[in-house]
Amino acid sequence: MFSKLNKEDTILRFSLRFLGILTFLGTIMFFMLSKAQDIHLPSYVSYLIIAFGLITAGISHFSVRHSSFRFTALLLVSLFIAIIGTFQQMNISLLFIIPIFLSYCFQSKKKAYLCIYLNLFFFNFSKIFKSYNIYIVNPAVYEFKKILLSNLIIGLFETIIFLTVAMPIFMLLIKQNNELKKSLKEREDATNDILQFCSTATSFHNKYLSIHIKGVRDITKILLDALIEGGVYIAPEYYDQIVFSVQFHDIGKIYIDSSILDKKGRLTPDEFTLIKEHPDRGVELFSLLPKNVLDEDYMRTCKNVIYQHHERLDGSGYPTGTKNISFEAKIVAIADVIDALLSWRPYKPPLSWDNLVSILEKEKAGFNYECLKVIYKEKDKILAVSDENNKALKQLLGLSGEDIIRQ
């Protein structure tokens, strides 16, 4: 699941970042040539072109993380290439094929065709300005009409070659790409069905688990968003992997009798021993999934979360007591504890925020410090998630009253 599509998105983001750098360097080169008076343009025109280049480079970089700007970025880069390609000193007009290729590989069919035709228009229209730039360098030697006619004929010839040779290749590429995407989407849907079955089976085994999974997932997203806002870089695909893994973190509890999971009194040592086995059993069960259901990165992240979400940085956790814990497990571990403490259970009411903070402070040696810091800042969001889930939990428990009483 997701492997091909994620790699495709990674390639596109890399390409957009490359185009942004290329545009920036082209802008710098144009600025240096204009300062050296190798380009004969009024100062204000040069500054407008430089400003446009910098804006285009910025939008290309911005579109790396904001997909809605990607097509706009490709068109702006095409226009910038067409503009600076009109100068003999910057003969880079053939680079217009880069945004065309990217639009074909990664955008919709309509946008791909639009990008092609606009690129061809930019490319041929730039021939007019290129002819003029050649003419004004030495008007005594060159005749503008002849230069214009020559460049238009060359542009027309290049366009015909592109339409007759390159265009069919691109059409074949987009057809194959669309077929591949369709196939991957069908496979992804089938994978989702399998994974949904696994998650649902766990929830049916214990009626509280589905609500707990939702709470842990929502709190995990709050923590990740807060960390990103605070300057921690988390790649989008890694973010998705962590959030995705939450639905399986307690899958091992399917092996534990529901009477133990819902027991109102204190667990016996033997019962707690069984509880501590659920990370091991969860990894065993998850490993039974076909290898082609998830790609390696998703598999690894899910297994880490399943196996390590009860481990602690001070070595006090289980099942192994390791201090070497993956980042994803550190995040889910805190989210798991927060949801458990703030939620109704057959054996306890939810804790108040102050009591939750008190417990986390006592056990802070076992948790990631950066995560603890953002938890306190996200009090309102976390309590909103908890209150929503507790309404559902109270219905399951058959409790009356609208108010959630916290201890």
Which pLDDT value is given to residue 222?
Answer: 95
Sign of the torsion angle spanned by Cα atoms 239, 240, 241, 246: positive
Which pLDDT value is given to residue 199?
Answer: 65
Q: How many of the other CB atoms lie within 10 Å of CB of 119?
A: 24
Asked whether the beta carbons of 40 and 133 are under 8 A apart, the reply is: yes
Of 45-49, 234-238, 277-281, 343-347, least confident by mean pLDDT is 343-347
N residues, the chain: 407
Q: Average pLDDT, stretch 131-152?
A: 66
Exposed/middle/buried for residue 296 (C-beta within 10 Å: 0-12, 13-18, 19+) = exposed
Greatest Cα pair distance in the chain? 101
Kind plus residue range of the DSSP H or E element containing 196 = helix 167-205
Report for 13-17, 42-46, 48-52, 310-314: range of highest mean pLDDT: 310-314
Which pLDDT value is given to residue 400?
Answer: 54
Which pLDDT value is given to residue 95?
Answer: 59
pLDDT, one tens digit per residue, over 50-95 is 899 899 899 988 888 777 787 788 888 878 877 777 665 555 555 5
Rounded to 5°, angle at Cα 169 from 94 and 166 = 30
Q: Average pLDDT, stretch 164-190?
A: 69
What are the residue boundaries of the structural domains of the chain, listed by start? 3-184, 206-397
Which of 279, 287, 281, 392 is closest to 344 using CA atoms?
Answer: 392
**In the block, residue with structure tokens 């600025």:** 31
Between residues 346 and 8, which one has the greater pLDDT? 346
pLDDT, one tens digit per residue, over 317-372 is 999 999 999 999 999 999 999 999 999 877 788 999 999 999 999 888 888 888 88
Alpha carbon distance 320, 325 (integer Å)? 11
Confidence of residue 45 (pLDDT cuts 50, 70, 90): confident
Confidence of residue 30 (pLDDT cuts 50, 70, 90): confident
For helices 379-397 and 209-229, the axis angle rounded to 10 degrees is 180
Q: Average pLDDT, stretch 4-23?
A: 71
User: 398: left (phi > 0), else alpha (psi -120 to 50), else beta?
Assistant: left
Q: Percent of the chain, pLDDT > 70?
A: 72
The CATH number corresponding to 206-397 among 1.20.140.10, 1.20.210.10, 1.10.3210.10, 1.20.140.70 equals 1.10.3210.10
The answer, yes or no, to whether residue 3 has pLDDT greater than 50, is no
Report for 35-39, 128-132, 394-398: range of highest mean pLDDT: 394-398
Which pLDDT value is given to residue 319?
Answer: 93
Q: Average pLDDT, stretch 252-281?
A: 88
Residues 218-227 as b/e (b if ≥16 CB within 10 A, e otherwise) read: bbbbbbbebb
